[in-house]
């Protein structure tokens, strides 16, 4: 009962994706509680039991890709063990076969049966499934046989075994080449149906043949001849061989890795572009294809991550001034794809992955890319995507980097300020990039995900840094656009950008307390923001009101005194009167603000509003808000004149 075999345990979730349950050591042994030989997995980290599964005599276990064992534990609960070494997998496979009395040379220990009695009875008489000889004249017969077998799990199983055992796929692809040479359209249409059917058999052993270097292009070829398209087949092979040239941005030394990358790209292409959209019935029949791609990606990320030379070269070229723009774009794009692949990893592996990239200097490299690629939309887009993976994975790592570099560098080339610049300079009319970047900035300034340790808190340090080095860059467009108490530009794109900046500032008002308070009061930011209530774009005017409303909602007398001292209700009353009797969002938002002051009985603001704006508001009768404010004010005055009333 030894424990040295290193494995990962996966379970299949409701979205038919594999979830990692942890890494550990597997052994098999008799478990008294389960009354039988069982598979046991203990976690590598703390030795806890990750899995205890009895080897049931009638469960169908499948061995896939030499290092995977997959089975269903219950109705909707699939498990997979992924071994580091083929030898470890073989050893456990032998144990399972021994319990079930099977020969370990099989790839599946049981026929998968879930049939009606009749079907089972019909099939009893024919032990295997006879495939017609692989000849042109028999293709139609074979296509019909495949189509009729798909609805029945038992017949699917028999068909898969027959196709597997007789080297049938290679013979079919031989016929495919003949049909193309002879331009035999009927034959090609039958082959399309047959190959599509073989995909739905959901068998790794068949995929390994179909996706091998020598077969995959012919398999894709067969899938070009969809009968529905008639005489205009798709040109997938052309695309894969001519258009989608596989560029080795940095030479990959390991031929196995190179082959695996090629294969994964092509299989992903088959899944996304070549196979017709599966029906609900077929969706479950392609789970093995999804898994094939998934485990390939996990392997690629692992192999690249371990290849120190490859990553060192990648980062060296990314940051080298001599690298030309096209090359830099290819490198950044590769890195983006690499990060996207890492999303298939489980949390602890993703952690290791980003740690590796971080140690390699991914953040300073991104900075170089953003500075050099300032004018190239594609480079900027790819760099932004990589940055978003890093921020979502570990905002603290990004914050720490930015604070450290601020000790050596000027403000305008700090990574976070480059990101703000990119946001401000987004040329897309829809501001897609700016919206994405704003979300990332919000994550970075969100105290909710900041850490506090015994000796220091990230919040205090980072916010002091942000307000000192970055806030002026973020608010620059807002301040520039509202000088002399009027809007200098009111076009749609500028307004959208200002609305985004305001959204972030509003977030800061809610979450940053004194840093933002000092900033707003010292820079007179609220006065500038309220200039936007005169914008022709209602969404921007409403953003400005929301900003003020958040400030009032804090019921902080520092803010209240600032509002009173500068008569900042003036633009609000003006906007209210300009809006006239229209019953719209603007009208509701302004009334709600005054109503809040009344209900919460904010004394200083109530007195200020009534003493300065009552004349303008006294005729508004369709709500009781202003009359109520006046009443509050009068009660306050009475109390002041007659202190006894207060008891």
Give kind and range of the element (H or E) at residue 8: strand 5-12
Q: How many CB atoms lie within 10 A of CB 359?
A: 9
CATH code at 22?
2.30.29.30
442 has pLDDT over 90? yes
* Radius of gyration of the chain measured on its C-alpha atoms: 34
Who has greater pLDDT, 98 or 427?
Answer: 98
CA–CA separation, 374 and 385 (whole Å): 15
Query: What's residue 377's pLDDT?
Result: 80
Average pLDDT over residues 62-83: 84
Same domain, 144 and 66: no
More confident residue, 429 or 197: 197
Instruction: Supply φ then ψ for residue 532, to 5 degrees.
Output: -70, -10
Give the Cα separation of 623 and 638 in Å (integer).
25
Assess whether 149 and 28 both reside in one domain.
Answer: no
Average pLDDT of span 459-465: 92
Q: Are strands 62-64 and 5-12 parallel, antiparallel or unpaired?
A: unpaired
Could you tell me if 190 and 90 lie in one domain?
Answer: no
Cα 48 → chain centroid: 31
CA atoms within 13 A on the CB side of 538: 10
Residue 335 resides in a domain? no
Q: pLDDT tens for residues 511-556?
A: 998 999 999 999 999 999 999 999 999 999 999 999 999 999 999 9
Kindly state the average pLDDT of the residues 92-114: 82
**Per-range mean pLDDT, top range of 66-70, 263-267, 325-329, 477-481:** 477-481
Given a contact cutoff of 8 angstroms between Cβ atoms, the answer to whether 566 and 527 are in contact is yes
- Residues 428-440 pLDDT 10s: 888 888 999 999 9
* Residue 438 is assigned to a structural domain of this protein: no
281, 308, 334 — which closes off a domain?
281
What range defines the domain where residue 49 resides? 6-100
Cα separation, 425 vs 577, whole angstroms:
35
Compare 572 and 327 and report the one with higher pLDDT: 572
Specify if 147 maps to a domain. Answer: yes
Q: Which of 222, 254, 281 is the last residue of a domain?
A: 281
451's tokens: 């850490």
End position of a domain, from candidates 260, 281, 302: 281
Q: What one-character DSSP code corresponds to residue 485?
A: G
């Amino acid at each position: 009962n030894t424990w040295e075999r290193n494995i990962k345990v996966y379970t299949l979730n409701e979205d038919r994706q594999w979830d990692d349950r942890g890494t550990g050591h597997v052994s098999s042994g008799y478990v008294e509680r389960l009354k039988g030989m069982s598979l046991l997995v203990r976690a590598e980290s703390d030795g806890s039991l990750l899995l205890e599964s009895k080897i049931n005599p009638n469960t169908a276990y499948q061995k896939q890709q030499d290092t995977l064992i997959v089975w269903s534990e219950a109705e909707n609960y699939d498990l997979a063990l992924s071994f580091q070494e083929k030898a470890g997998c073989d050893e456990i496979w032998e144990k399972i076969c021994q319990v079930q009395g099977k020969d370990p040379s099989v790839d599946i220990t049981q026929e998968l049966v879930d049939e009606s009695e009749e079907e089972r009875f019909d099939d009893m008489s024919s032990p295997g499934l006879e495939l017609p000889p692989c000849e042109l004249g028999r293709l139609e017969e074979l296509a019909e046989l495949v189509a009729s077998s798909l609805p029945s799990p038992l017949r699917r199983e028999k068909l898969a075994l027959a196709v597997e055992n007789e080297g049938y796929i290679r013979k079919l692809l031989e016929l495919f080449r003949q049909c193309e040479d002879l331009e035999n359209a009927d034959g090609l249409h039958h082959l399309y149906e047959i190959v599509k059917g073989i995909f739905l058999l959901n068998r790794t052993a068949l995929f390994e043949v179909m996706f091998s270097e020598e077969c995959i292009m012919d398999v894709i070829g067969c899938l070009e001849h969809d009968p529905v398209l008639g005489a205009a087949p798709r040109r997938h092979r052309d695309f894969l061989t001519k258009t989608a040239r596989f560029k080795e941005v940095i030479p990959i030394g390991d031929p196995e890795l190179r082959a695996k990358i090629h294969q994964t790209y092509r299989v992903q292409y088959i899944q996304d572009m070549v196979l017709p959209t599966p029906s609900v019935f077929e969706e479950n029949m392609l789970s093995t294809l999804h898994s094939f791609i998934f485990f390939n990606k996990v392997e690629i990320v692992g192999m690249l991550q371990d290849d120190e030379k490859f990553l060192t070269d990648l980062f060296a070229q990314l940051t080298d001034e001599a690298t030309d723009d096209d090359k830099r774009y290819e490198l950044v794009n590769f890195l983006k794809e690499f990060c996207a692949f890492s999303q298939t990893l489980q949390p602890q592996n993703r952690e290791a992955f980003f740690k590796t990239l971080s140690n390699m200097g991914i953040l300073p490299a991104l900075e170089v890319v953003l500075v050099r690629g300032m004018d190239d939309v594609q480079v900027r887009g790819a760099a932004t995507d990589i940055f978003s993976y890093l921020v979502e994975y570990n905002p603290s790592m990004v914050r720490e980097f930015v604070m450290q570099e601020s000790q050596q560098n000027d403000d305008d080339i700090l990574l976070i300020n480059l990101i703000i610049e990119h946001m401000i300079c987004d040329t897309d009319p829809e501001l897609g990039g700016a919206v994405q970047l704003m979300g990332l900035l919000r994550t970075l300034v969100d105290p909710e995900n900041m850490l506090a340790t015994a000796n220091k808190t990230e919040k205090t340090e980072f916010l002091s840094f942000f307000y000192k080095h970055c806030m002026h860059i973020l608010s620059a467009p807002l301040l520039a656009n509202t000088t002399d108490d009027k809007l200098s530009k009111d076009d749609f794109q500028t307004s959208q950008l200002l609305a985004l900046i305001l959204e972030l500032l509003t977030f800061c008002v809610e979450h940053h307390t004194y840093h933002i308070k000092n900033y707003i009061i010292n820079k007179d930011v609220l006065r500038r923001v309220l200039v936007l209530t005169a914008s022709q774009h209602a969404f921007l005017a409403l953003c400005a009101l929301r900003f003020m409303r958040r400030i009032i909602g804090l019921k902080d007398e520092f803010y209240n005194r600032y509002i009173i001292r500068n008569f900042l209700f003036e633009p609000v009353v003006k906007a209210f009167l300009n809006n006239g009797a229209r019953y719209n969002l603007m009208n509701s938002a302004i009334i709600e603000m005054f109503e809040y002051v009344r209900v919460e009985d904010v004394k200083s603001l109530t007195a200020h509003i009534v003493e300065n704006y009552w004349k303008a508001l006294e005729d508004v009768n369709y709500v009781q808000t202003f009359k109520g404010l006046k009443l509050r004010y009068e009660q306050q005055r009475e109390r002041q004149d007659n202190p006894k009333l207060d008891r």
